[in-house]
Structure 1
Amino acid sequence: MASEAPAPRLRVESGGAVATRTPIPPVATAARARWRWVGFAAAAGLAAVAAIAQFRRDTVTGDVREYRTAVGQRDSVQLPDGSTVILAPDSRLVVAANFGVDTRDVTLDGAAYFDVRHDEGHPFTVHTSSADIRDIGTAFSVKTGGEGEVAVHVTHGIVALSARGDAATTAAPVELHAGDRGVLAKAAVTVSRGTVTAEDVAWTRGTLSYRDASLAEVRADLRRWYGLELRVADSALASRTLTASFRGDSAAQVVRVIALALGADAVQEGDTVVLQLQGTGATAPR
């Protein structure tokens, strides 16, 4: 088997600051044709993935830099301060125009893993639609989901997780230390101390691993990795959680395992998957 050529490193320059990026081979794509699915390549590892590569779209407007990944395509970015970001599929990272001047602010829509170069004089903060995550010298992942849910897994150091908007005035930031998991949902933060393992950030290596994950998190991941839209037709399913791991699985197999684990029937049509309690007569979405 021919060896894969080294991934190119591109430079994006703006206002004297330089960011570099290294594409990561895609691990999943979703066909847009009805009832057709394209999943992971066989177990030869990331280097042998046979999906169509779509490099990240980078744009520069003034001093604002924006990085986007396609469905099924991860990518890495080295920021001007030396911090490294691994972007999950179908995610967007915006680097503020004044990055590194007084603060280091980035805005995330999707999911990413941050390995931050600590600088007390220039705090590093990740903004999402509903949360602010401030670095206190650390490495951590951030995954956004539906209804403003944000999950943070800290693998090194400390971060402070807080709600944005009106909720920020009524709740103090919550400190998360190495090994801690924090989930912000409906402006409240739930913390699990010392529970984070390598599996919680396995997506950076091409594996989707869940341990009592909410369906909001699963729904967001299916959209990013496979281009699928998950709908839950029964309210009794909405509160259930998923424990499972996927690597080298087709989209159809992932859907079957999710349905089995949740005690549900899955109906697939095009890019939409509907989950309904087993035996209740689920029908294809219209």
Structure 2
Amino acid sequence: NQCLNKVSKRLLNMSYGDICLFHVLFYITTADTVTQKKVVEVGGNVTLSCLLTGSYDILQVTWQKKNTRENENLATYSVHKGVTVVETYRGRLNFTRLSLNDTAITLWRVRIQDDGCYKCLFNTYPDGAIPQDTCLTLLVFVCVSEQLRGSLHYVVSEGNLIATCSANAWPSPVISWIVPKNESEKTEVVTHPNGTVSVISKLCVNSTTSLAGQSLICRVQHMEEERYYMLMSSWLQDFVLAYLQPQFWMREITGSRLQRKRRDKCLCGGEGERERILL
């Protein structure tokens, strides 16, 4: 896989900008402070481990996922009771090293939601609980030419225009408009089951005559990458969609269409006919 090879080379140089979407980087810090780096695809598997050095009488080891409000129990292991995995993780998580002082769990079919810090809790006697953290910092970057999905479409009705710019990625992309003057804007954020986020931004221009000879530019930002989508207005009120290469600001004209609607008045947030041109 060419993109995965590119990821590996970049990791060796400690550069993250070209890691593909749905390839994740885990920083794993074990109890002896040794840091490991692993690359795994979302949907792949990852093993987390903790080591408690020293002489302790360990009765049980518990794995938890650290959350904002309270830690979430995942699984426990003891010599007397064996392995217990909470129901929500059964079939996707299990112990892969059954040793009380040197413990490991494996997560199968990794999800974006698995991002975060994990705690292995060594319950000892008579010292009590000894916690150790294993942090997974999940970084999902974009191969821009392949995975960052952006689009711009518009509709014109009785001299009014609604332009809609959208993008899908993870972490959440950021959309902003470069416009000749302040216009009404509404933004919607949708989180999908796979963890990716769609951002939809609608810009309403109440009079297209104010755009004569000018342009609307939608800027999509994600991590260290940017994309620009432009809606150009001619003096004849014809609109042309273009994608701008940010490094050269080259225009790739993808189509031109004049939308004329007679039945519904185009109002910000109102109902109206919409046709799409996807970039």
Same fold (TM over 0.5): no
> Greater share of helix residues, 1 or 2?
1
- The TM-score by the shorter chain falls in which range? under 0.3
> Greater share of strand residues, 1 or 2?
2
**TM-score of the superposition, structure 1-length normalised?**
0.27
